[in-house]
Amino acid sequence: MATKPASFRRIAYVAPMAEEKLYFTDEKQPHAIEPGAFLLDLYRLVCMVSASRDVATLGLTSSAIAMMQAGYFKSEATRILISCAAGVRIQFDQSQGPADEAKSDCGMLFPNWATDRDQAEVLTLREACNKIIHATDIRFDVEIPDAANNPDEEGVYYQPRLYLYGSKGRNGWRAELSLIDFARWAAVAFRWFAVLR
């Protein structure tokens, strides 16, 4: 079968993109974030953390359940944290945030972990979001039942804490994040931002 000469080949036409026009307003149009999906994810995170011990116990008699917890807990918790942290940070960049945000206690921040491990401050919601987004090392807090007599670490479950590491400038930092407090404060923030719209 002969091919058509170049002059006969169809050339795809790409129409110019039409950017949305805002009529009757000079206001900026922020990200349209629907809080419902984020609140559902935060609820899932609380449920996952709260049920981890029971799921690990079930996994002692079911390899399928043990496989699911081992295969999905960390990746799903990480996905939820990154997604919600990005959503909250976007909201903070577009608004002042809740008045009580300065009181939000999501854990502890050690801003100079490499040089001064005694220097600590409260990890606020906004700073927790920053640390989640910029962490280069994430470690879950695991509990090994009867660790001295359990070399295979059967029944391992997750505590509601996470350890984040990274650097800002020349300072290496460490953050101890309470997953429950992060979920609580992030849910409050998403609800507060939704009222503003």
- Is 4 within a domain? no
Tell me, what's the pLDDT at 194? 55
- Is 164 within a domain? yes
- Report the phi/psi class of residue 146: left, alpha or beta, with left for phi > 0 and alpha for psi in -120 to 50: left
Whether residue 8 is predicted with pLDDT greater than 90 in this model: the reply is: no
- Is 78 within a domain? yes
pLDDT tens-digit map of 101-146: 667 899 999 999 988 999 999 999 999 999 999 999 999 999 998 8
Instruction: Please report, for the chain, how many H helices and E strands are present, in that order.
Output: 4, 5
pLDDT confidence band for 196 (50 / 70 / 90): very low
Average pLDDT over the chain, rounded to an integer: 85
- Is 65 within a domain? yes
pLDDT confidence band for 197 (50 / 70 / 90): very low
Whether residue 165 is predicted with pLDDT greater than 60 in this model: the reply is: yes
- Is 27 within a domain? no
Whether residue 152 is predicted with pLDDT greater than 90 in this model: the reply is: no
Percent of the chain with pLDDT over 90: 57
Which has the closest alpha carbon to 46: 187, 190, 191, 179?
Answer: 179
Question: Average pLDDT for residues 81-91, to the nearest whole number?
Answer: 92
Give the tokens for residue 157: 């479950």
- Is 58 within a domain? yes
- Is 22 within a domain? no
Question: Average pLDDT for residues 160-183, to the nearest whole number?
Answer: 94
State the total domains in the chain: 1
Expressed as residue numbers, the domain containing 53 is 34-95+102-144+156-196
Phi, psi of 121 (to 5 degrees): -145, 165
Q: Which pTM value belongs to this model?
A: 0.79
